[in-house]
A and B are shown apart, each in its own frame.
Chain A
Amino acid sequence: MSLTTAPPGSTAPSPTAPAGSAAPASRRWIYVVLHTAGRRVLAEPGGLLVSLVFYGLVVAVLAGLWSAAAEANGGTVAGYTAIALTWYVAVSEAATVSLNIRMIDDIGRDIGGGAVAVELLRPASVLGVRMVSELGRALPRLAGCLAAGTLLATATAGGPPRPAALALTVPSLVLALMCNIAAQHAFAASAFWLRDAGTAWFLYQKLVFVLGGMLIPLEVLPGWLGRAAALLPFRAMAYAPARLASGHMEPVLLLEQLGWLAALVVGAGLVFRAGQRRLQVVGG
């Protein structure tokens, strides 16, 4: 067996490595991680219930505020009726409350504390396993929030403004979760350099709250801010499914989300790879 000279930092495969026993090519892990992560949430119904109660409270308060604003403004705000606004906040909140609220902070702690080093010992993408696991945890919560939101919006404001548009909301919500998870991983990767992602977490939340349309439909934002929001990926994370749920039949929003998802996954992959490389060269 001959030794291969190791140029520092090189990542090319070893020319002397024997054949066989390569890292697994099967994608079964995606299903298993998704499924196990989902079961993990369902195994703790208390946590799920707390999320749903929190979600219900936030939706009730925001729907009340927006309905009052619409009433005071002659029945609409930026073209949204009180019913549309109620459905809007029910879906925009579902898109964000379903996710681990401290995701960036948790990832940052794992990177800064060195737990990610253990994940590098597995024959799978660290980022891939983490993102699939987060999606698996979010999907049961999303189902719960959707059910609770539908009941709440129907009971307090009335049925969906446009049921056909509502049908597009479900796939749009799943895409919103995926975009959000990818973006949060990209932000959290700052911990590879800063050792902590607390600041990134604080900043990210505010960006999604406002520029993502979680609290406010983007049409309500002042001109320059609205134009900025239109150019940024955050609108794919709450605004897109909420806009559909509020009765706007705009399938292009799904295409836009797909585009952002591809860009965010590539972006997160590049940042994570650079971070991992730094960890491997500089140490953790």
Chain B
Amino acid sequence: MRHPGWMTAATAATAASRATAGAAIEVRGLTKAFAVGRRHARRRIEAVRAISFTIDSGERVAYIGPNGAGKSTSIKILTGILHPTGGEANVLGVVPWQDRRRLAARIGTLFGQRSLLWFELTPRQSYRMLAAIYGLDARQERTRVAELADLLEAGELFDVPVRNLSLGQRMRCELGAVMLHQPEVLFLDEPTIGLDLLAKQRFRELLVRLNGERGTTIFLTSHDVADIEHVAERAIVINHGSVIYDDAVATMRRRLMATKLVEVGLAEPSERVAMAGVAVLEHSPTRMKLVVDTATTPIRDVVDALLDDHDVADISVVDPPLEQVIAEIYGLPQR
């Protein structure tokens, strides 16, 4: 069944319970409009339109949407870099744009395309500057840097000038920079952009580990579906500035996609399937690949018909890839 709205009843109930217990981020009706164009042809563009959500402490949330959807603008507002045009928000009890520096001491923010490190310095020297800026004393700094060397398995990189590090190595050290002051919330804006597959995988594992060991709340934006699948427990989808979906990643496919992929191995050649709601993608003497619209025909009926009418050697029913799910969500009507 195609989901009719942006949030299921179950998710709404979960969100309501989060609002009362240990919320790390609360957003209500947050809006940001920009004026663009010259004086006589000035237009108002709403980058973020009345978004609302609550994120509990220790949650790992993917905040996703197509380019220009308002993801980075939202992060900039929640970290205090941008002032909203309207609405309310607090992060760890602080209104970000009213008390940016106080909030900065408790959160960490990493923009994949911006470096927190000084290129001429080594990560260790950068950490020294950052530790002092974040108010750590020399002993705390040494302890934290040693912990980060273990956690990131990057101690040998800490004494190499940043400009000589590969992108993957640098991103590990960037994560060190953002974790140095032990933030309670991590905002990560496309942190794996440009990384190779291995580096991405390592980075994702690190985030999950940080969340597990320290309870750090993770708020992640990414265009990489694997980041969402491997890091996030929950996905908030934003498009044209509005939240259009908010639910657990694990249920995303089930709740949103009305289609299933059915692959059938045939012991003997058989006739082409002709059922309402079933499209044949591939048909050969030994194999069939079908797309089933479960809103029209339940998957059980399709499987029963296949087993009754064909000499089936093997059958599998799978959800469509997450890319397809997300593309489907982007196409949902706005609330």
Interface residues of A (CB under 8 A from B): 1, 3-6, 8-14, 16-18, 21-26, 28-29, 31-33, 36, 39-40, 43-44, 114-115, 117-118, 120-124, 129, 279-283
Q: A26-B135, A281-B83 are in contact. List 16 more A-B contacts (CB 8 A).
A: A4-B88, A6-B84, A8-B85, A13-B102, A18-B93, A21-B106, A25-B135, A26-B137, A33-B132, A40-B125, A44-B120, A118-B116, A121-B81, A123-B135, A124-B133, A129-B133
Docked complex Cα distance between A26 and B134 (Å): 9
Contact A39 B125 (CB under 8 A): yes
A10: nearest chain-B partner, CB-CB: B98
Name the distance in Å between B51's Cβ and chain A's nearest Cβ.
13
Q: Which of B85, B105, B125, B132 contacts A23 (CB 8 A)?
A: B105
Name the distance in Å between A41's Cβ and chain B's nearest Cβ.
9
A114: nearest chain-B partner, CB-CB: B114
Name the distance in Å between B335's Cβ and chain A's nearest Cβ.
20
Contact A115 B114 (CB under 8 A): yes
Contact B102 A24 (CB under 8 A): no
Contact A28 B83 (CB under 8 A): no
Contact B84 A36 (CB under 8 A): no
B113: nearest chain-A partner, CB-CB: A114
B95: nearest chain-A partner, CB-CB: A14
Docked complex Cα distance between A10 and B100 (Å): 11
Q: Which residues of B contact A28 (CB under 8 A)?
A: 132, 135, 137
Contact B89 A3 (CB under 8 A): yes
Contact A16 B34 (CB under 8 A): no
Number of A-B residue pairs at CB separation under 8 A: 146
Contact B130 A8 (CB under 8 A): no
Q: Which residues of B contact A123 (CB under 8 A)?
A: 101-102, 104-105, 133-135
Q: Which residues of A contact B149 (CB under 8 A)?
A: none
Q: Is B109 an interface residue (CB 8 A)?
A: yes
Most buried by A among B90, B98, B105, B134: B98
Q: Is B202 an interface residue (CB 8 A)?
A: no
Contact B130 A122 (CB under 8 A): yes
Contact B121 A24 (CB under 8 A): no
Name the distance in Å between A218's Cβ and chain B's nearest Cβ.
36
A117: nearest chain-B partner, CB-CB: B81
